Every structure is written in C-alpha cells, then in structure tokens.
Structure 1
Amino acid sequence: MDVNEGLESPLVIKVSFNKYLTQYENLIEADNDFIALNARRVLKIAEDYPILRDGFSDLTILQKHEKEIEGILQDAFSPVLSHNEIKTASVPFLDVIFNSSTRFKNILKTAGEDFDLQIKNMPKDQRYIIACSVILNFCYGYNLNFKRPFFYEIPDANGVMRYYKILYNADFTEIIPKKNAPKITDEDYAQLLDNFENIDLWKEKFPPNSYDFKGFVISNIFDVTDDQSISNIKSSLIGEDKRKNEGFMEDFHEIFRSLLGLKDIKVGFSIYNKEDDTFERVYGAGMDSFLLNNLEISNCSDALCRWSYDRLLKEKKYFSISDVDKAFSKSKGHAPHVRVLHEQGIKSAIFAPIANEEGLMGILEIVSEKRQVLNSINANKLVDVMLFIVSAVERSKNEEENLIDAIIQQECTSIHQSVQWRFEQEARKYIKDDLNGKEPNFNQIVFNDIYPLFGQIDIKGSSEARNRATKLDLIIQLSALKSIIKNAIDQEALPIYEQYLYQINEWLESLDNNFQVDSEQQINGFIKHDLNPVLKHLKTNKNLEEEIQAYLNSIDSKVGTVYQNRKNYDETIAAINKNMASLLDEKQISAQAMYPHYFERFKTDGVEHNMYIGESLTKEDSFSSIYLYNLRLWQLQIMCEMENSYYQMQSDFPVKLDVASMILVFNQPLSISFRMDEKQFDVDGTYNARYEIVKKRVDKAFIKGTNERITQKGKISIVYSQKQDEEEYLRYVKFLQSKNYLDNDIEILELQDLQAVTGLKAIRVSVLYHKDNNDKEYYTYDDLMKEISN
C-alpha cells in the first residue's frame, strides 16, 4: 500500500530515518563508551537495512521491519518511560502510526476495538495548504507561523471523553524541491499571505507532487482533559441562542463528565429572582432543574433549609451531598433540597452558587444516581469553571433585560423602524457627551417637511350596539331577580319584598322606554346594595335555593353582573380590531419596501393609522413626490381591501356590525416631533395643529345642509380641502374602478364647517365587495348583504 495513493499533496512522502540516523553518526566518537556503543548498534541496523535510510512509500515495509524500526527508535521511546509517556512516531499529515509507547497503546486498547483514531481538528480541506506552508518554512526560510494545536479525543474505560494535545517534533524530516517545482519569489509569498483559502493559487505555486518529503515525526502527547473541558465550557457559553439548540445541554453534560471524569452525571440550572426571593426554571431545550423538579417556581425558603440557604445565598459557597439517602434519613425528610433529590432517585449532588459582587444569580446543579460519586473533593474542580459560568449568566441576564426592553418598546412604546436611526443617532451623542464629561442631554427629535396621511376603518353605531347589549343584559338580570322576589312573596308575604318588586318593575320599564347613560351604574348599585343582601337571606329557604343558585351561576365572576350580550359585543370589537390591525400591519411590509415612511396605528372602535413620508425621515437624498403619490394610492387600495376582508369575516363575529372607511388628505408638508411624555409623535407648530383638529372631528362631520354623516357603511370617504387633491384622488378612484375595487357612484360633497376649520370637501364612492378571495363577482354593499343572507 503506497502512502501517496489517493493523496493530493505538493509532497511525495517517503518514510525515512536518514536525518534521525545522522544524529548517531556524531555520537560514534563520543567520550562515553556506552553512548558510542549504542550509536554503532543503531547504525549497524541501518547498514543492514539500507531502505530505512533511503526511504520508502510502501507502508507494508513498516510491518516487515517493525523490530528493526523499534531498535532504531529505542532511545526516543525509552522502555523505562514507556508506561508513563504518551508518544508516537508517525507519518505527517496522515493518521499512520508505526511506533508508540506502551501507555499510548493501553489508551487505545481501553477505547475499544471499534474506536477510530483521528486528529479531530486537522481540516482535510486545508491539508494541501498546510503542506505548502511547511515547504515555505523548510525550503525558503520564511518564518510563517502556521502551527496550531491538534488534539485526539479518546474515551476512557468509563466512556468519559478525554482530550490529548499533540506536539509534533519535525526535526527528523527533509523536504527537497523537484526539478519541476516553481521557485517561490518574495512577490509570490506576498500574494499567498493574502489568499490562504485560495486553493487554486496554492496549487499554481506548489503543483501536486513537486517536492520530495523524507522523514517522520515524533509526537509527544499530553492529557489536557481538564484544560480542554474548561475551554469547551467557555466555547459552549459563548454565542447566540444556545438555549434554543436541542443538543446544547447534552454537549454541556458531556463537558462536565470529562471535567469531573464521571460518566453518569447530569447538569441543571435554576435562576434566582432577588425581588421575590424565589428560584425559577431556566427555559430552553433540555434545560432541567433538579432543585425545582416539576415546579416552575419555588420560594427559596421552600426549596432550601436554613443552612443551605445561608450557604448559597449569603456565603455564596458550594456544598455537596455525597449520600442523599443518608442525608434524607438523618433529616427525617424535613430538608427540602434533600427531599426533592430523594424523590427523583438522585444519590449524590453538588449545588454551586452562580454569583457575582451583586449577589446570587442562580444555582448550578450537578447530580448523579450513584452515591458518593459527587462529593466535596471533586466539587473543588468547579472553581476553575465557575468564573466563565458567572460571566455567561451575567451576559444572559443583560441580553434578557435588553430583550424585555425591546418587547416593551415593541408592544407598548414602539419606535418605528423608519425613524429608529434618528433616535440611535441622538442616543450615541448622549453617550459621547456623558463619557466626555459634558452634561448629557437627549435633544428633541423633529422631522420637518413631512407629508401626512391618515385613514380609519370605523365601526358604525358602536355606541348604540353597546347600549343595546347592556340593556339586554340588565333586562335578563332584572327579570331573573323579579322571578325570585315574586316567589319569595309567595313564601313570605313581606311588604319589603313588594317594594323591591315595584323598584324592579320601574327599572324594567325605564330600560324599555328611556335608557340613559347612567342607567347601568344606577341599576348595578340597586342590585348590589339592596337585592344581594336579600338573596343571601333567601338562599336559606330550600324552596328558593335552586332558583337563586341558577341566578348566581349566570353572573360573570369578573364583572359581577350578567355579561352575555356585552361579552359578545366586546369580543366582536376586539376581534374586528385585531384582524383589521393584523391585515394593515401585514400590508405595511410591502409599502415599506417601496419607500420607507413612518407608520403607526391605533385600536379604538375600529382601527386608525397615521403615515408620514418625506426626505428628513430618511438618511439619503432620495425622496421624490412620486413616492407620496404612490403611498396615497396604496392607502386607498388597502382601505378597500380591508373593507372586503371585514365583510368576508363578519359572519364569524358574535355581533353583526358594520364599518365605514375614511381617508383625510392634507397636501401641505408639516413638522412632527416626538413627545417624550407621551412616547409618540405629534404635529409641531400652531398651523400644523389644524391637521390634528380635523383628524379628531372629521368622521363625525355632516354633509352641508343635511343631518347625514360623511362616513357611511359600504362607502369610502376621501376628505380634502384643495382642488388639486380632488383631481389627484379622482384619478386614483378611476384607476381602482378599472380594477373593480370601487363602484361608479362618485359623489363630490361639501362638509359643514367644523370648529376653526372651513372649506372641507369629500369624494364619496361605494366599495365593491366579493364574498371570498376566490369569488370573481363584485357586489355593492346592499347586494353583498342580500347574497350573505341567502
């Protein structure tokens, strides 16, 4: 078997002991007779077997001359140290070992017959380039530091992975250029330095098989399991989203098994919540807590005894339980941390505090199902790794706090992505001033020359619908109470019951004829203060007990009243808002891709949205009026789509409600500033405030000379004040008519004057609907209602 067969390399490899043997030629004349005699012995072997000096690539010769090679290498592999040293002689760049110490042989024997010895971090795809780097050093004298530590990973008798570092001695190697080998110049070297991964360039400078390699390497190997385990712990704790990785915890178990030299151990964590003095589970794939067992959270006083509490939280020192069963018996099961281990079948354990100067952050838990396996002696090994675990937990806590802040910002006080850059810019300036000793000041965020767009899809008659639902619930509740009181009079004819019955009838009549804003509050007060004490009294009457219990069961526990129709109404409003907002958010993604702009939306009785677009919102000089026109057309089209989407899902809601859509056009640029107190943008300046006034009042505006609201179900209203806006939006309407979004019944309407606002007009046009996404037929609102009801 030729060692070069199937090997792509600039080196043609021959195993040779020539350079090694030259050392002995210098020792023949040594003053020490024993050294000289031994040198003659080694050289005699080489003389009898010249192939060992000349070199060979046939690996079968290694077996054929095994004893002779062992004789030559006797000094390098001293029999006296063979059981102590871990040493091999091998072919470089390949996993071919032909001589080794007894200890190394025993290590491989323990690993098992199926174990395949390989250098773990020798990248096969880089072996060619590494060989070229060796040539640069040997043949051209460039001091190129290409060396990196290599390792073996070999399991011991217990199946625990141990790590061995390999140190090469290449003193006995020769590299000789062949005649066809290109000579490397300084210019070539400079080019190679910047192109380590360009394999084609390296092959051009060092063609395959262009250099002869003669020799072998001696590897001195050291058990570095402890150091490598610590390094692996550091590596495992560095990086993003480790807790989401299914294999992370299993790898972590293996690392600790190597560190402690124990196969049957598991690792767990629990987080300490200082504010509540509780231990909490760490969430993540494969994460366990043996201190909490099945609990999500536990008070520290319930999880630890007084001594262990003080040890971990106050002294911040680890402790071990080498025999859980014995400790359980001794404490009579009263020590909670011992009891929880005993319940899980754990026989020995170590608890180590993860703490910094500010106090405890969590607990590292190491457990075994074998007694005395974990103890105070091997617990000392944790000292070397706790620093890295503490650092990782600190970083994790900071990341979690940042994530919490981000979620709060996203859900509660969102800074839209289009203006995020401006806030970051100001924050960097704030930090810079603070670091330079200046008084830091977060300046006002203002964007000038911004064009606003406003739209809303409003639930029509929402107040009337809520009042109707409230009235129905109160009628149901009062009717049930009326029945109970009438039956009470039959049981016990007390005048007070007749007086309560009279009041109930009065309320029922007022609900039927004259429901007021405060009717709900007054009736609830009457029930709470007058009737509930009566019910408590009457419940002792067995003839009324069942009816009273049925009434009480009809009362919602959260609001304390009958909450059937109002619940349907509230759930309908919430569902409409959720679906409309989600649709708008989804559509916004494509709009932002067209051109970045500020966007915000609000849930009321429907969904409102603000958009601002302009040069100052972006970092680049890229704004054009075409992007404003595009966004206006997009907004109109999306409002039509939202109307369609709503009526397609209307039948799914508990209460049937209608919606009406409106767009407000404002053709003058304005300024917006971020109000720190309200955590939102608002228009800036007295003139610009007119826009906000119109926004708040226009949906309630009437058509001039009538009592008809401008917003109507089945129609979309576009409110404006300038003739050029009318012309622009009529073009958009005509385009959307061609796409069957809008009907042909365009109205141009004047609005009655609002407070401080005059001259408003509106384009109003019917929306065309389709029953579902696959329906190609388009309907007016009235047609759609007929189709849905059929």
Structure 2
Amino acid sequence: MININDNIESPLILKVSFNKLLQYYEDLLKHDDEFVVAKAKRVLSTAKSYPVLREGFTETKILEERKKEIGIILQDSFSPLLTKNEIKTASVPFHDLIFNKSERFENIIKTAGSSFELQIKNMPEDYRYIIACTIILNFCYGYDINFKRPFYYEIPDANGIMRYYKIMYNADFCEIKPTGTGPKITQEDYDELLDNFDNLELWKEKFPPNSYLFEGFVISNIFDITDDQSISNIKSTLIRDDGNKDESFMESFYEIFRSLLGIKDIKVGFSIYNEEENSFEHVYGVKASSYLLGNIEKENCKTTLCNWSYDRIINEHKNVSVSDIEKLYKKSEGQLPHIKKLHDQGIKSAIFAPIANENGLMGVIEIVSNKPKVLNSINANKLVDIMPYIVSAVERSKTEEENLIEAVIQKECTSIHPSVHWRFAKEAKEFIKKDMLGQQARFKKIAFDGVYPLYGQIDVKGSSDARNHATQKDLALQLTLVDKILDVIPANEKLPVYEQLKFEIASFDKAIKTDFKVDTEQQLTRFFKEEIEPLFIFFLEKKNFAKEEIEDYFSKVDTNLGVIYYYRKNYDDTIALINKNMSALLDEKQVEAQNMYPHFFERFKTDGVEHNMYIGESITKEDSFNTIYLYNLRLWQLQVMYEMENSFYQNQSEYPIGLDVASMILVFNQPLSIRFRMDEKQFDVDGTYNARYEVVKKRVDKAFIKGTDERVTAKGKMTIIYSQKEDEVEYLKYISFMQSKNLFANDVEIVELEDLQGVTGLKAIRVSMNYQKRENENTFYSYDDLMNEIKA
C-alpha cells in the first residue's frame, strides 16, 4: 500500500479530503435555483456513500478505487464543456500526485512523450520544506510574509519546442491544523525567521517534520505563457553579464527564439553595422554566425543588400522578410545579392530585423530556416516585443566595448599605472561632482611626495653603428644593381648623361665606405627616387633592353620607401624582437613585484628597454611603507635585470642579426616628488632639486670612466651608478648574494665617472655576469665563453 507521505520530509502530513468542497455544496442546498440544489444533492449523496472522501485518506489506491465518485464531486470544477480548452489539475501541494485533470492537460503530457517527467521548474528541492512552513505561517498564524512566487512547468510540444506553463493554485478547498507535536509560533519566532530564510535547520526547529496536518486538495489552473516566458528568457539572457558566450550559451539563446516563434527548425545570426564604413561585420567574441555575410568577415552594405532591402534596413529600420528564397532566387535570376548568398547556404526562408535606436542602426538580427514559408512577414511581428531588450543589450555591449577601448588606450598609450589609479579616480569624481553642480571644474594637480625612485635600462650596445652599417650595406647593394643595369645599355643607346650617372654612383659608393654622414642616406634616397626610378620606368616602357635586370631591381626595392630595405629591416626586426621579449619578461616579473608591495611602474622601448619605478607611502595611501620594501625592490630589480640579459643571450639565435646589450641601474638615495604632467601625459620629477635626477638619468649611460675614453656601461657587465657611500655598501651586499648563486663573477670593480654637466661625484660598481646557455641549466658561462659557445 502506497502512502502519499512516503519518502517526503515535510512539516505537513498530506491527507486528501473533499470536506471543504462538500461544505460548499451543503451551503448550495439553500440556493434559489432548483438545478443548483439538485446538483448539490447528487454530489453530497455520492460523498455520503463513501465517508472516506470527506474524512480524508493518505493511500493512493483509494484515488483509483473511487475515481468515478471523485469525478462526480469535481465535475463543476472540471467542466466537461471546457475540458478541451482549460489546462487544469487537482492535486496535493509539493507532490507530483495528480488525481484529476482536464483533457487538454492530459493531451499536453501525452504529446511530451513517455519519458517526460512533470516537475515544477523553479521550486528547488531544498526550499520545499521552507515554502511549506511559510504557508503554515499564513494559514495557522495569520502572518502574510508575501512569498508568492510564480511556479511553472516546462513541457515540450510535438515538434520538440519547449513551451512554458504558469501554475496558479486555488487553495479554497484545504485546511491546515497543528498536530500538537511542534511548538506554537510566537511573534519572537516569526521575527527570527524573517531574517533566516536560508537556515533550514532553524525552520525545522520551529516546524518539526509532520507537526501539521494538511487536509484537502488544491486545484491548479495552468496557462500557456510561452510567448511571455520567451521574452523574459531573452531579457534575462541578454542582461546576464557573461563574457564567455560559448556554443552552449548561443544554443540556449536560439532555443528561446524557437519557443517564441513556435518553429524548431531555425537558426539565429547577427551582423554588426559599422556606420563609418557603411559595412556589416561579424560579431567577435561570441560563437555567432552571420548569414548575410556568410564566410566574409566584412562587406559593404550596398554590396550585401539589394536597393530595396538596403533602404528598408539601413534607413527605415524596418524588418525584411523572405518567405520563399528559392522562388525569389529564380525570379531574380540570382541577381539579388542577399538572396543569392542565402540560397547558396541552403536557406529557404528568413527574417532580418534591424537593431536600431534613436542614434541609428547598430546591427541586424538574422533568423533563418531551411524550410520555405515558415518565416514570413506575419510571424516577424512577434519580434516587436523582444527588440527593445536586444537593443538595450547591444547598447550596453557598445558601451562596454567603448570602455574597453578606453582601457586599452590607457594601458598602452598613457602612464596611468594601476598603483596610482586611485588618485586619478578621486580627482575625476571631484571634477564630475563640481561639473554637475554647475561649478567651475578643474582637474587638480596629481603629485606624490616622498617617493624613492628606481631606474634601470638594458640598452643595445652600438645600436647607432649597427644601424649605420645596415644602411650602408642596403645603399651599396642598390648602387651596385643600378650600376650593373647601366652597364648593359647597348652601345648605340648610350648617352653622355648615363656616364655622368655612373660617375655619381662611384662618388656615392666612395662616400658610403669612407665618409658616411647623416645626410648621405637622404641624398641617396632622393637620387634613387628622382633620377634612377623614372629612368628605369622609361626603359621598361620605351626600350627593349635590360628588362629582366630592371624588373629584378624593382622587386628588391621597397615600394613604400623607394629603396632596398633588407639589412635595415633585419636590424629593425631585431630591435623590435629584443624589445618585445625583454618587455614581456619584465611585465611578467612586475606582477610578482606588485604583489610584494604596490609601487608605480612604467617602461619605455627605445634601442632596448628602460623602466622607472617609484615606491613610497603616498602611492600606496596606506600607513604601511617601510624602507625594507625599498631594499627588497632594489634587489628584485637587480635580479630581474640579470634574468632579462640572460634571457636575451639564450634567445640570440632567433634574432635576424647578432647584437649585444648592456645593463645599467641608477641608484638615487633621497626621496623625491613626482607630478603627472597633463600636457605630456606622463609622470616626471617635481621641483628644481629633484630635476638633477632626471639629468643624470638621461646622460649617465654615455658617461666615461674618469681618466679614460671607456664608457661606463659595457657588454657582459652589470653597471650600478650611485653617489652615496651607503648605496655602495648596500649594493655590494646584493652582488655578494647573487655571487653566492653563481649569477655574478668575482671581478667587482668600483670606478669614478667623469663629471656630467652640473653633476659631480658619481661612481659605479661594475661586475661581470655569468650566463646560462639554457634555462635552469647549472652550467654558467662568462660573456666570452658564451659568445664562443654561440658561434661554435
């Protein structure tokens, strides 16, 4: 025997009873209408013969045994005249037991298939107990806590399309009574429960299992709300902030459209409208197709659409529907561009809905089917209710994209580092506040006092000479090619002016090799562009000699520059790759450093990589700074610069040409002030005294060791520039630490520097670096040993 309370934990003991309904019929015995009285007598007579129907029962077998009598009792509630139209059931709450239902509901369940299980979708299992308790609070204690939530079923139709049904409960025919096994709820209990909805144990303490008796039944009036729910689902889906719009997300999004239109066989695509270029583009960042574009990434709108469709979508912002693409394709003989593209993709019907606001078109939503006539101008009107949500989502997406663009610009093109962003945000808020109040708004000075500077650079050694050498080789090669072409001119075609050109070539060739100056490159570029190029074009068009040689010449000449750009390209590519690799390593290591203690950081790409760091209390805005963090950052800088140079030599084989680098650190002992210069969009030192630091920073790498013509920076060595004795002591400790790890050699030297303009007393520690040929290798090499290994 199956009891309806089996395997259910609830504060309610469920008992099916028709007592309350029968009481209504007893009142109807006094009705003036004899037909109403006669019907009431029949129902009460049926119930009288089977007292269990009034007394109540918990065994499910009685529902089957007394099915006919229950049908008579519920006949007015389930009118035979409306059974094919109404969706209605009789049941007990929080249970899948249904003992009476309308014919329409029965057909809906039958259509869903034998494997379908009917479940209330938005009633979590964990909350059923608590929801039952809230009902008890209302029925037994009069507390209306307004926990009325709409419940619904999701049931597929014959085509597999999900339809949504809202459930409205009629609880007129039930009553709830305490069993006496649980505590009586007081005002104090109620107040405590109000703030503890999620505390299941507390609710069980106040409402123990089986402490109340439910007698009666509920009638569920069910309504098909598929259209409304589809609109709600689209709204929820579009509002959801989900940057990862993967295939499953898009499929669920398409399923909503299928429910809205009642068509299983549809797909949904999107196209972005680029107003500046008057073109359609694929949506990036989501797994969405564009059926207007097909496999093309971007296309002009006038090429994508016919004139009529273009005007309707772009100008009028109205839908375009094609119910039979095959028919229109044949009629137009494939001349309508969008129809041809849809036809080639096997699409048979389509709707294109413009996504537009008061500022104009933003994109197009494309709904397509491989069946003709299922999409048309009639069901296209269903989109009217959802377009406002799609428009809002696209507007939000455009705003987010604009914000992202601004963030990228800020990150890549300005010096507003995250460590100081708080200060800019603070001033920006004040600026906006004053502007909104109609006051004169000015962006205040952004400055940080008492910060310690750190500066380092890894510079390509002899970069100017290397570039000049590459330039000389390119120009010499081009002169040789021109000279050879002039040599093959037939004797009968030779003119004195050609001899004069050969003389110029010889003069330029000598200048390149023996007296290469700053303007030599410009002179030669002008010579090639203005004298040689027009002559060779004339030979190609009017003469019959040297065609292969001239074509070979032009194939080697860069079309944009007008000169051969081979050796210089190798040089430029090498510099770019060096900068890219070293910057990437420095940026990666910076993440670790910021986690140790926040500080300002910026780097610059020149012929190498430079970086500035500032650390201090005023940047962190917290009372947490200690000089230990400064010492830690100095050691970190020394270690990272070693890693950068070591990585450079490990990867030297991937660079087009072989170059050397030299590393340098500038130590400044005193704290200073920095200020953000609005005109230059970067931080700089503030004050005349502090300007000395900038002077040293700009000139020191070119300084000579006192009494020699040797530059202080050298390949294979780490150079640390300083002026105070305590800095010398500090960095010698760091060097000793790194020597213990075999990263530095034992050839530490301390040298004095020649005086710079306005700066005297500078000294430098220089120490050779030991390199690893491969990462994590235990064998270390001196610079000379490493070069021999690389060249071997």
Shorter-chain TM band: over 0.9
Deviations 1:131-171 (A, max 9, x none): 11112222222112222001111222333222111001122
Gaps of 5+ in 2: none
Which deviates more from structure 2 when the two are superposed, residues 778-787 or residues 691-700?
778-787
Partner of 1:125: 126
Mapped contact 2:528–2:562 kept (Cα < 8 A):
no
CA distance, structure 2, for counterparts of residue 543 and residue 438 of structure 1: 78
Does the C-alpha gap of structure 1 residues 231 and 573 become closer, same or farther in structure 2, counting only changes over 3 Å? Answer: same
Return the offset for 1:429.
0.9
Letter in 2 for 1:70: G
Following the alignment from structure 1 to structure 2, what is the Cα–Cα distance between the partners of residues 435 and 549?
66
| 1:570-609 aligned within 5 A | 570-609=572-611
Where in structure 2 are the equivalents of 1:79-118 lying within 5 Å?
79-118=80-119
The equivalent of 2:44 in structure 1 is: 43
The structural deviation recorded for 1:283 is 2.1
Hey, what's the Cα distance between the residues in 2 that align with 1:106 and 1:137? 35
Query: Residue in 2 aligned with 1:321?
Result: 322
**Contact 1:242–1:248 (8 Å) recurs in 2:** no
Deviations 1:168-213, CA, capped at 9 Å, x for gaps: 1122222222232122222222221111111122222222222222
CA apart distance, 1:537: 4.1
**How big is the shift at 1:238?**
0.4
Aligned to 1:682, the other structure's residue is in SS state: strand
TM-score with structure 2 setting the length: 0.96
Secondary structure at 1:447's aligned position in 2?
strand
1:488–1:497 Cα contact (<8 Å) kept: no
Question: Post-superposition shift, 1:32?
Answer: 2.8
1:474 aligns with 2:485: no
Which residue in the other structure is 2:170 paired with?
Answer: 169
Shift of 1:606: 0.5
Residue of structure 1 equivalent to 2:702: 700
SS of aligned partner of 1:599: strand
Q: Return the offset for 1:493.
A: 4.5
Range with greater deviation from structure 2 (60-69 or 533-542): 533-542
Instruction: Give the conservation status (yes or no) of the 8 Å contact 1:445–1:674.
Output: yes
In structure 2, distance between residues paired with 1:63 and 1:527: 103
Question: How much has 1:434 moved relative to structure 2?
Answer: 1.6
| Corresponding residue for residue 431 of structure 1 | 432
CA contact (8 A) 2:489 2:545 kept: no
What SS class does the counterpart of residue 338 from structure 2 fall into? helix
- CA deviations 1:304-338 (Å, max 9, x no partner) are 33333332233322232333334344444443333
Which residues in structure 2 correspond to 1:460-609 (within 5 Å)? 460-488=461-489, 492-539=493-540, 544-609=546-611
For the residue of structure 1 that corresponds to 2:387, the secondary structure is: helix
Q: Kindly tell me: are residues 641 and 286 of structure 1, through their superposed partners in 2, closer, same or farther at Cα, counting changes over 3 Å?
A: closer
* 2: CA distance, partners of 1:565 / 1:580: 23
What CA deviation, in whole Å up to 9, does each residue of 1:217-245 have, x standing for no partner? 10001111121111111111102235623
1:444-455 alignment to 2 at 5 Å? Answer: 444-455=445-456
2:643 corresponds in structure 1 to 641
Q: Secondary structure of 2:441's partner? A: coil
Using the alignment, how far apart are the partners of 2:716 and 2:323 within structure 1?
A: 77
Structure 1: gaps of 5 or more residues = none
Q: Does structure 2 conserve the Cα–Cα contact (< 8 Å) formed by 1:580 and 1:642? A: yes
Distance 1:93 1:500 in 2: 101
User: Partners of 2:470 and 2:543 in 1: how far apart?
Assistant: 33
One-letter amino acid of the counterpart of residue 265, structure 1 = I
SS, match of residue 686 in structure 1: coil
Shift of residue 491 of structure 1? 7.4
Deviations 1:608-640 (A, max 9, x none): 000001111112111111111111111112111
| Paired residues of 1:489 and 1:498 also in contact (CA < 8 A) | no
Q: In the aligned structure 2, how far is the partner of 1:580 from the partner of 1:615?
A: 29
- Cross-structure match for 1:189: 190
CA contact (8 A) 1:243 1:283 kept: no
Cα separation, 1, equivalents of 2:669 and 2:244: 52
Alignment match, 1:23: 24
Q: What is the CA-CA distance between 1:420 and the residue it aligns to?
A: 0.7
Q: For structure 1, which segment, 175-184 or 669-678, has the greater mean C-alpha deviation from structure 2 after superposition?
A: 175-184
- The structure-2 alpha-carbon separation of the partners of 1:98 and 1:255, relative to structure 1 and needing over 3 Å to count, comes to same
CA distance in 2, matches of 1:111, 1:284: 36
CA contact (8 A) 2:539 2:545 kept: no
Specify the code of the residue in structure 2 equivalent to 1:635. Q
- The answer to whether the 8 Å contact 1:488/1:538 transfers is no
Equivalent residue letter for 1:565: Y
Change (3 A) 1:787 1:380: closer
1:711, distance to aligned residue in structure 2 (A): 0.3
- Which range moves more in the overlay, 630-639 or 44-53? 44-53
The residue aligned with 2:266 is 265
Contact between 1:456 and 1:607, CA under 8 Å: does it hold in 2? yes
TM-superposed deviation, 1:760: 1.0
Distance 1:523 1:310 in 2: 55
Q: Does 1:231 find its partner at 2:232?
A: yes
Larger deviation, residues 647-656 vs 307-316: 307-316
Please name the residue that 2:625 is paired with.
Answer: 623
User: Retained in 2: the 8 A contact 1:457–1:660?
Assistant: yes
1:611 aligns with 2:613: yes
Distance in 1 separating the partners of 2:285 and 2:746: 58
| Superimposed CA distance per residue, residues 699-733 of structure 1 (whole angstroms, 9 cap, x where no aligned partner) | 00001111111101111111111122222222222
181 and 143 in structure 1: CA distance in 2 versus 1, 3 angstrom threshold: same
Asked if 2 retains the 8 angstrom alpha-carbon contact of 1:10 and 1:209, the reply is yes
Aligned pairs, how many?
790
1:267-286 to 2 correspondences below 5 Å: 267-286=268-287
- How do 1:71-470 residues align onto structure 2 when only pairs under 5 Å count? 71-241=72-242, 244-470=245-471
Q: Which amino acid aligns with 2:318?
A: K
Cα distance in 1 for residues equivalent to 2:544 and 2:64: 103
Q: Any idea what SS the aligned residue of 2:271 has?
A: strand
Match of 1:770 among 769, 772, 775: 772
Please, which moves more after superposition, 297-306 or 693-702? Answer: 297-306
Contact in 2 for aligned 1:637/1:741 (Cα 8 Å): no
Q: Distance in 2 between matches of 1:775 and 1:368?
A: 61
Take 1:11 and 1:722, find their aligned partners in 2: how far apart are those partners? Answer: 84
Verify the 8 A CA contact 2:457 2:608 in the aligned structure 1: yes
Contact 1:489 1:497 in 2 (8 A): no
Contact map agreement 1:270 1:363 (CA 8 A) in 2:
yes
The 3-state SS of whatever aligns with 2:258 is: helix
Where 2:690 maps in the other structure, the secondary structure is helix
Does the Cα contact within 8 Å between 2:130 and 2:203 map onto a contact in 1?
yes
CA distance in 2, matches of 1:329, 1:788: 69
- The one-letter amino acid of 2:83's match is S
1:735 matches 2:737: yes
Q: Deviations over 1:655-704 (max 9, x none)?
A: 11111111111111111111112211111111111111111000000011
Q: Decide which of 691, 706, 723 is 2:693's aligned counterpart.
A: 691
CA RMSD of aligned residues (A): 2.0
Letter of the 1:393 counterpart? V
Distance 1:468 1:529 in 2: 24
Q: Which moved more, 1:710-719 or 1:496-505?
A: 496-505
Cα distance, 1:28 vs structure 2: 2.8
99-108 or 313-322, larger mean C-alpha shift: 313-322
Residue 524 of structure 1 and its aligned partner are, at CA, apart by 2.3
2:357 and 2:268 map into 1 onto residues whose CA distance is 21
Among candidates 643, 651, 654, match of residue 652 of structure 1:
654
Alpha-carbon offset, residue 543 of structure 1 = 5.7
d(CA) in 1 for partners of 2:772, 2:262:
71
Maintained 8 Å contact 2:451/2:615:
yes
Q: Structure 2 CA distance, aligned partners of 1:509 and 1:756?
A: 42
Offset of residue 591 of structure 1: 0.6
Q: 1:665 aligns with which of 661, 664, 667?
A: 667
**In the alignment, residue 87 of structure 1 is paired with which amino acid?**
K
What is the identity, as a one-letter code, of the residue corresponding to 2:364?
I
Number of the residue aligned with 2:11:
10
